[in-house]
Amino acid sequence: MKLLDRYVIRNFLQIYCYCIAGFISIWLIFDVSDNISTFIDEHVGILLVIRYYATQLPQVFIILLPVSLLLSLLFALGRMSRANEIVSMLTAGVSLPRVLLPLIGMGLLTVAASMALNYSLAPHSELARKMFISEAQSRPGRYIQGQIFRNRTDSRTWFIQNFFPHNNTFNNVQVLQQDANDNIVTNYVASRATYRPETKTWELENVKIVHYDPAGNIVDEQIYPSLKIEHWSETPFRLGSANERAEFLSLPELREYLRFNSDFPATLLAPFRTHLQYRLALPWTCLVTFFWHWAKEPAFLPGSLRGHQTFFSP
């Protein structure tokens, strides 16, 4: 890296870090003032408070990175121009794009950081905020009651009495397996169904299996204390997808939801498609911010530099 690049990057990073620290401090002051009464009333420990704010930082970074980038560019280039440093660089034969090349690299790094945060951490921040209230008040998570899931690809229907969100265990489960003609061929009734992600298998406890002929007559019945099933494609995320909200899902979760629920009506899938495109596009606002400033650069740079450009232009 040339000395010129190091100098430009140092000037930019100094202001960039100040902007980020300033915005985080302002957000932290306002958020603590809003929640301090809850922390005191519920006797929330300092470690839990620190963990709470750690989960909120990714979402805050997503918002402040483009703004910090714009302010840093305005201040850094403005200060260098007022000191005639950019004029000296141009006089020495360094083109303006070459002067801005280190800043373009910093813009790309900001895009990468924003993309990494927006991949999973930032979408889960709002959900973590809601879960924090329940944890602070020592309230157990709520069961989801009466869940129905239809697997149209494998012709399977699940009836679940209750389960905890984001849990691999489901209570009082009934699974109906149908054939190509929508006739019920097998009925699974279990007191509990547990998914093993390491082996991608389902384990049914106290399960009763009933087989039917095409006319609906019972052919035979079996009862097992425990039964492992390896060929079912359902996962806990798919079974609970009816209760998912698009704004709380990460990028891979949105893709998984759209892939496995592609047969849903378009109106139900529209929020998930919109948030998927939003997650992909949002990080690039940092680079758009940089090039917008570059495109508007004659309006921002002082007269000395504009005069220099006019004088040396053909």
Q: Can you give the pLDDT at residue 263? A: 74
Q: Can you give the pLDDT at residue 125? A: 87
Q: Can you give the pLDDT at residue 298? A: 47
Q: Can you give the pLDDT at residue 170? A: 94
Domain range annotation of the chain: 3-136+281-312, 154-232
Q: 52: which strand partners?
A: none
| Among candidate residues 83, 61, 95, 65, the one with its CA nearest the CA of residue 294 | 95
Q: How many residues does the chain have?
A: 314
Q: Can you give the pLDDT at residue 109? A: 92
Extract the tokens encoding 114. 């924003």
| CB half-sphere exposure, 263, CA atoms < 13 A | 8
Alpha carbon distance 162, 170 (integer Å): 6
| Among candidate residues 92, 107, 77, the one with its CA nearest the CA of residue 3 | 92
Q: Can you give the pLDDT at residue 312? A: 39
Per-residue pLDDT of the chain (314 residues; tens, 9 = 90+): 688 889 999 999 999 999 999 999 999 999 999 888 888 887 888 888 888 899 999 999 999 998 999 899 889 888 888 888 888 888 888 887 888 889 889 989 999 999 999 998 988 887 788 777 666 655 555 677 888 888 888 889 999 998 887 789 999 999 999 998 889 999 999 999 999 999 999 999 999 999 999 888 999 999 999 999 998 988 888 888 777 788 888 898 899 888 878 777 888 889 999 999 999 988 888 777 667 655 555 444 444 444 444 433 44
Question: With contact defined as beta carbons under 8 Å apart, do 123 and 283 qualify?
Answer: no
Burial level of 301, CB count in 10 A (0-12/13-18/19+)?
buried
Q: Which phi-psi region, left, alpha or beta, contains residue 43 (left: φ > 0; alpha: ψ -120 to 50)?
A: left
pTM of the entire structure? 0.68
Q: Which phi-psi region, left, alpha or beta, contains residue 206 (left: φ > 0; alpha: ψ -120 to 50)?
A: left
